[in-house]
Amino acid sequence: MAHDMPGSRPANPRFSCGPCTKRPGWSLDVLKDAPLGRSHRAKIGKSRLKLAIDLTREILEIPADYRVAIVPASDTGAVEMALWSLLGERGVDVLAWEAFSADWVIDVTEQLQLDDVRVMTADYGHLPDLSKVDCDRDVVFPWNGTTSGVRVPNADWIPADREGLTICDGTSAAFAQDLDWSKLDVTTFSWQKVMGGEAAHGMLVLSPRAVARLESYKPAWPMPKLFRMTKNGKLLEALFEGETVNTPSMLAVEDYIDTLNWAKSIGGLDALQRRADDNCKVLTDWVAKTPWVDFLAVEPANRSNTSICLMIVDPAVTSRPAEIQAEFAKNIAATLEIEKAAYDINSYRDAPAGLRIWTGSTVETKDLEVLTEWLDWAFVRAKAGLAKAA
C-alpha cells in the first residue's frame, strides 16, 4: 500500500452520486443555443421538450406503446405522481432496503394511509426476499438503491402475467443497467444521475397497463395539480408530448438533450452500460486486493454498477465506537476533497458509515484508476492520525 502522495490526480474529481458529473467534453458552450426567455409552450419550447422525450425513448429503447413524460421535482416528483395517482385500487407490496425506498414506505403507509399494505424491508447491504413478493398486488420498489449500492439483479421475479402494477424507482439504474420494460409498468428517473444532467426534472414512463389503470381508477383522495395525469377519465396525452405540468428550465432541457446526443454518438445504451460496468470493475478489482475496504452490498450479483458503497473493515477502525468509525470515513472524504482528488464521496447521511463513489456512464475509467491510489494514501494517513489520537 502506497504511503507517498500519488503523483497525479484524477482529471475530473467529481464522484458525487447526485448530481453526478457532466459528460466527458462538456462545456457551457453546448447551451449557447438554448431558447432562454422563450415560453416552454411556444413552438420552439415544445419542440425541444418533445425532442428530449423522443431521445430518451430512443436511447433507453422504450417500447413504442409506452408513454414518456417530463415531470416536476426530479425522480421524487415522478414517484410521488405514480403513488398518489395509481395506488389504492388493490393491495400493495412496498420494498425498501435503503433511504429513498424507505421514504416510499412512509408515503404509502402514513400519507396515503392505505389499508392493505405489506412492507418488505432489508438491512443496508441486502435485498428483501423477492420470492415473497406478490405481483398480483401493486409493487413499489427501487431498481438500484442509491444509498446502499444494492440493486435487483434482474426482473425474473416479476411474472409477465401479473395482475398488479410494478412501480419502479429507476433513478440510479436508467441508462446504466438493463431495465426489462416488459416487467415495468411505471418507471421513474431523473436527469442528474447516470446522464449527468441538471436537477429538478424527472421522467415518468408508463406502460399501457398503467395508462389503463389511470383511466379506470379514481383515487379516494384529492389530487394536487402537479400529480394530475387525467381529465374526465382520459389520459392527458399532451403531457407525454412535451406539454409539461409546470414551467421547466429550458436551460436544463437543452443540457439533457446534449447528454442524450452524446450517448447516441458513443453507441447508445450498450455503450452507456459498458462504461458503467468498466468503471465498476476498477473498484471491484481494487476492493479485491485491498484489505481495509469491502462492499456494503453483500451479494456480488446485487451490487450496483453506479453507486458503489464501501465499508471500512480494518480492525483498527472497526474496533472503535460507531461515531469514531463515521469520523474516520469522513476524514478520508474530507482529505481527498482538500487535495482535489475526489469530491463528495462520503456515505449518505442515513446510511452506514463509509464511502460512496459514483461509477456511472459519465465518469472516465482512468479517473477511477487514479482515485484508488488516493484512497489508499488517504486511508494510511487517517489511520496514522487514529493511532496518534489513541
3-state secondary structure of 213: helix
The whole-number pLDDT of residue 1 equals 47
**Do 147 and 309 contact (CB within 8 A), yes or no?**
yes
Instruction: Report all structural domains of the chain as residue ranges with CATH numbers, in order of start.
Output: 36-264 (3.40.640.10), 268-389 (3.90.1150.10)
The whole-number pLDDT of residue 128 equals 98
Which DSSP state fits 270?
A: H
CA distance readout (Å), 307 to 81, 192, 225, 328, 352: 25, 13, 33, 20, 14
3-state secondary structure of 151: strand
Which DSSP state fits 346?
A: B
The whole-number pLDDT of residue 96 equals 98
> pLDDT digit string (tens) for 73-96?
999 999 999 999 999 999 999 999
Q: Which three cell numbers stand for residue 48?
A: 425541444
SS percent in the chain: helix, strand, coil, step 5: 40, 15, 45
Q: Which three cell numbers stand for residue 373?
A: 491510489
The whole-number pLDDT of residue 367 equals 98
Q: For the CA atoms of the chain, what is the radius of gyration?
A: 22
Which DSSP state fits 111?
A: I
Reported residue count of the chain is 390
Q: Can you list the positions of beta strands (E) in the chain? A: 67-72, 92-96, 117-121, 138-142, 144-145, 150-151, 166-169, 186-190, 201-206, 230-231, 234-235, 293-295, 307-312, 355-358
pTM of the model: 0.97
Q: Which three cell numbers stand for residue 85?
A: 395517482
The whole-number pLDDT of residue 25 equals 98
The whole-number pLDDT of residue 388 equals 81
Q: Which three cell numbers stand for residue 131?
A: 420470492
Q: How many CB atoms lie within 10 A of CB 224?
A: 10
Question: Left (φ > 0), alpha (ψ -120 to 50) or beta: where does 4 sit?
Answer: beta
The whole-number pLDDT of residue 257 equals 98
3-state secondary structure of 14: strand
Residues 289/276/124/127 CA torsion (nearest 10 deg): -110
- If we measure between CA atoms, which residue out of 216, 212, 245 comes closest to residue 232? 216
Give per-10-residue mean pLDDT for the chain (390 aa): 84 98 98 97 97 98 98 97 98 96 96 97 98 98 98 98 98 98 98 97 98 97 95 97 96 98 98 98 98 98 98 97 96 98 96 97 98 98 87
The whole-number pLDDT of residue 3 equals 72
The whole-number pLDDT of residue 389 equals 76
Residues 6+ away with beta carbon under 8 Å from 171: 75, 142, 144, 146, 188, 189, 190, 193
The whole-number pLDDT of residue 390 equals 66
Q: Which residue has the cell 458513443?
A: 266
> pLDDT digit string (tens) for 296-313?
999 999 999 999 999 999
3-state secondary structure of 296: coil
**Do 353 and 312 contact (CB within 8 A), yes or no?**
yes
What is the torsional sign of CA 114, 117, 123, 124? negative
The whole-number pLDDT of residue 387 equals 82
